[in-house]
Chain A
Amino acid sequence: MILHRRGRTRSYPIAVLLLLLLIASALVPQFFPKNSFLLSVLILANIWAILAMSWDILSGYAGQISFGHSFFFGLGGYTTAFLSVLYGWSPILVIALGGVVAALGGLLIAAPALRLRGPYLSLMTLVAALALDRLLRLLKPEIGIPGAEGAILCIPQCLLTYNTALKYYYSLGLMILIAGALYTLARSRIGLAFEAIRDDEEAAQAAGINTAKYKTLAFAISGFVAGVSGAFYVYHIGSASPSSLLDLEHSIEVIVAAVLGGMGTIIGPIFGAYFLVLVREYLRFLGGWRFFVLFAVALLVLFFVPRGVLPELRLKLRQWLQSGSGQRRNQKV
């Protein structure tokens, strides 16, 4: 009997756990009304969770490992900064447009990326992010911050609200909305096509799948979601600059988050992102050690728990539950 290799059985314990966590996160501002640092950190965690999920749909599901996800993050962020400063449109519209521009960026990358596989593709995405960084530094807009290369200050135009608790709820709502949408997508026939491409592209073609089309779609969707996270980030910090949006660090951090939580699970990277941001922001007293710890933990997880923590946890939980019911069943058989 193969217990550890069960197929698609629903995992209620995890669902219950998620629901409890959801309620807990909704209540955070009630319990810590004065702790705006905590709320601010959690807002960041939500933004990073969105970014990590967007990475997961492209890299964890469609198997197109992106090393330059800050490209989409930056496109979304800059679009937001420009639009809010120049036109002062409503945040919802601006954030959506940030996503759209990043999705277009995804299509732009997809064009050459369709011809590339494996490491070449990863390199291509990395290069796109580096090139956008260089390009934006050459930009010297009148609306920019004097002296800072390519930076745009958009306070007060791109300020959602002064109420941090409210902003936290916005970020939480957005994160959950996107998590739901991506999770549904991942479990749909489109997600299945993505996974086929990830597991064996040639076999997917032999199964009649238009891999070019699905890969392009993955780039566009991932770009859109990452763009939305970048847009929200700009609303959170009130400015856009190459160093805050296009830092290579972001691209590495989303990979770390996804590896920790579990690639190809959508929900896993949320936990990875929360862990990452909480460690990064709360262990500041450790200085550089906190990054050392983060990367070391990620490396260990990759090595010993290659599927990621969430899938492993789910497995352990199910085994534990089944060891009870399993004994009963064995007696019957």
Chain B
Amino acid sequence: MLILGFLISSLYALVAVGFTMIFGVAGVLNLAHGAFVMVGAYLAIWAFVILKWSLPVAFAFAILGVAVIAPLVYRVLIRPIENRTVTVFLATLLLAVLLEQVIILFFSAKPRTDLPPFIQGGFVLWGTSIPYNRLLAGVVALVVIGLLWAFVTRTKTGKAILALSMDRRGAALVGIASHRITLWVWAISGALAAIAGLFITSFLGIQPFEERVSLVIAFSTVVLGGLGSIPGSLWAAFIIGYAETIAQAFAPEARGLASLVILLIVLTIRPQGLFGRAAT
């Protein structure tokens, strides 16, 4: 359970980091983020099951696909209305339900479980059986987060992203082209969502409305960690991931409730999250 919790948590972290990056850098609370997770999964199903591509190619296709769709969404839909916060907020919500409908039209609302695990088999550790696929998911998630961290702290583009998330105006003053960087952030965020979507689907299957669960989890994680704070959302992902795993072990029907309860408490006591700056 300790390990499974860890593995699930790292996937939550992937979803949450992408979500918080878009908020931190672009100032957009992207309610379609859950839909990106879902679109990634369905792109892979389409490529693998219908086009009969090999699994790794299908995975790569899905990740790239979302990494292209996400910045497109920003460029076409969000950017023209960028400075109207409420409109953007509602637009991403409508986009999310619209994407749900698109998926339902193409794939029906039935759950799909035909995306096979990346690797078969598993092993038993301390009485818990751990499929290799889950282990892989955890490892991939951690590697991706590590790479992201290296990217953000080492490369020029990455540093620009970090600077933007700290202070938009300051970044503009030192000559960071915020629109180009924002496109990058949407692409990265989309790719992270797609990776998470692929693995979640390969353990649990997926259905169109699943995106709402992803969104709520991402949202709770990010609020718990403090909106816009990348390290905060990493910590929070593990707290929520474990809470969910433990809750599920004791009472399966409580899945999703644990994160809600945590969220309610955090929202009430410390709205700026564990690592967030106090809103002024």
Contact = CB atoms under 8 A, between A and B. Distances in A.
A and B touch in the complex (CB under 8 A): yes
Interface of A is mostly: helix
A119 B89 contact: yes
Contacts of A131: 257, 260-261, 264
B256 A117 contact: no
B221 to A, nearest CB: 12
Contacts of B279: 117
Contacts of B220: 123
Contacts of A295: 94, 97-98, 101
Interface in A108-165: 112, 115-120, 122-124, 126-127, 130-131, 134, 137-138
A12 interface: no
B158 interface: no
Nearest to B267: A124
A292 B84 contact: no
Contacts of A302: 87, 90-91, 94
Contact of B216 (A63, A130, A259): A130
Interface string A257-298: 001000000000000000000000000000011011001101
Contacts of A256: 94
Contacts of B260: 127, 130-131, 134
B214 to A, nearest CB: 14
A302 B104 CA distance: 23
Given A119-B89, A127-B260, A303 B80 contact: yes
Nearest to B264: A127
B25 to A, nearest CB: 16
A127 B267 contact: yes
A220 interface: no
A248 interface: yes
Contacts of B264: 112, 124, 127, 131
B85 interface: yes
B271 to A, nearest CB: 5
A252 B81 CA distance: 21
Interface string B63-92: 000000000000001001100111101110
Contact of B84 (A130, A259, A306): A306
B105 A299 contact: no
A67 interface: yes
B219 interface: yes
B101 to A, nearest CB: 4
Contacts of A67: 93
B187 interface: no
A120 B95 CA distance: 20
A65 interface: yes
Nearest to A295: B98
A44 B101 CA distance: 22
Contacts of B119: none
A255 interface: yes
Contacts of B54: none
B250 to A, nearest CB: 15
B29 interface: yes
17 contacts: A65-B89, A112-B264, A115-B268, A118-B85, A118-B89, A119-B29, A120-B267, A127-B263, A127-B264, A131-B261, A134-B257, A134-B260, A255-B90, A295-B94, A295-B101, A299-B98, A302-B94
Interface of B: 29, 77, 80-81, 84-87, 89-91, 93-95, 97-98, 101-102, 104-105, 109, 212, 216, 219-220, 223, 227, 253, 256-257, 260-261, 263-264, 267-268, 271, 279
Given A131-B257, A134-B256, A259-B90, 17 more contacts: A65-B89, A112-B267, A117-B279, A118-B85, A120-B267, A120-B271, A123-B267, A131-B260, A131-B261, A137-B253, A255-B94, A292-B98, A299-B91, A299-B98, A302-B94, A303-B81, A303-B91
